[in-house]
Amino acid sequence: MKAVKALLMSAAMMSVCVAKTVDVGGRTLEIPAPEGFVELTEDMSALYAATKKIVDSDNDTLAYYIPSEMADAAKAGEFVPAVKYFVLKAQGNTKFVTMGNSEFASLAAGVKSANQMVTDELKMVLGDSFDPAAVVELKGIAVLPPHRETETTLANSMLIRQTALGGKGEGQVMSATKTYANIGGKVMLLAAYGAEQDSEWTRTAVGAWTDAVLAGNPNPPVGDSSGGSLKEEADGVGFKSAVIGAIVGALVVFVFSSLKSRRKA
């Protein structure tokens, strides 16, 4: 295990030249770019401007990453939508909260429960045969069971109908993998998007990126991160429980609103 950790830290150090320093609720984190990708910056004006139209009221979007081979064209002002791309976000409700492993476990359990609620509703409509391709065609989104669960991560893939990064129109079926990661006590969301047939790539690529980010930052607190007097601990637990509830609630609202909008279409 130590050898693996050392190897990952070495990889993270090799990527330091393209690492992004972000401040999340007063904590500085180092985020290396995914392998083979570069951060989308203001000098890539056309594509960069398109991302500013994407609104996520529940999370702070910190960076988009596009394939390295697209960088020169993007800097020249060319507008070419990216089918494969990554997104880095900080969970908005937890920016000023430090999450220990036990609290992250509560968050992960809530997210899994919310995803199961969506699956159960779909089965009521479609029956027990859960075909993701059929579901996304009918409802616009199909959330798959988690494929990675650790003390610091929870990852699941999905099929979703949307445009490529910077694309226009009604969109196409795309694959995506989203990872909730407890980076140094801060809940971050790392996501990879690709074409419909790129589902396995999104899982592998965002998994490798998550490992590099974890290796390049301090570990989160072990157990519960609350400290101080009994009253402070009680207040902290209550506040964090409310935060976890808000995250899960926002996820339920997002997915169910997506289902309802598709039902009306």
CA angle centred on 29, ends 193 and 24, rounded to 5°:
85
Residue-by-residue DSSP string for 178-198: EEEEEETTEEEEEEEEEEGGG
Which residue type is seen at 111? V
CA–CA gap between residue 90 and residue 58 (Å, rounded): 9
- Contact criterion met (CB below 8 Å) for 195 and 82: no
Question: How high is the pLDDT of residue 170?
Answer: 61
How do residues 49-65 score in pLDDT, each as one tens digit?
Answer: 988 888 888 889 999 99
Strands 85-91 and 59-67: antiparallel
Give the burial class of 222: count Cβ atoms within 10 A of its Cβ; 0-12 exposed, 13-18 middle, 19 or more buried: exposed
* 96-124 mean pLDDT: 84
Distance of CA 171 to the CA centre of its chain: 20
The rounded percent of the chain whose pLDDT value lies above 70 is 73
Least confident of 38-42, 75-79, 180-184, 254-258: 254-258
Using the predicted structure, report yes or no on whether residue 122 has a pLDDT greater than 80.
no
The rounded percent of the chain whose pLDDT value lies above 90 is 41
CA–CA gap between residue 194 and residue 253 (Å, rounded): 24
- Contact criterion met (CB below 8 Å) for 101 and 187: no
Helices (H), ranges, 52-163: 71-75, 101-126, 132-139
Half-sphere exposure for 97 (CA within 13 Å, toward CB): 27
Question: How high is the pLDDT of residue 7?
Answer: 46
Average pLDDT, the chain: 78
How do residues 183-237 score in pLDDT, each as one tens digit?
Answer: 999 999 999 999 989 999 999 999 999 999 999 999 998 866 654 332 333 344 4
CA–CA gap between residue 116 and residue 239 (Å, rounded): 25
> In terms of residues, how long is the chain?
265
- Contact criterion met (CB below 8 Å) for 22 and 90: yes
Mean pLDDT comparison of 62-66, 97-101, 108-112, highest-scoring range: 62-66
* 245-261 mean pLDDT: 44
CA–CA gap between residue 240 and residue 33 (Å, rounded): 30
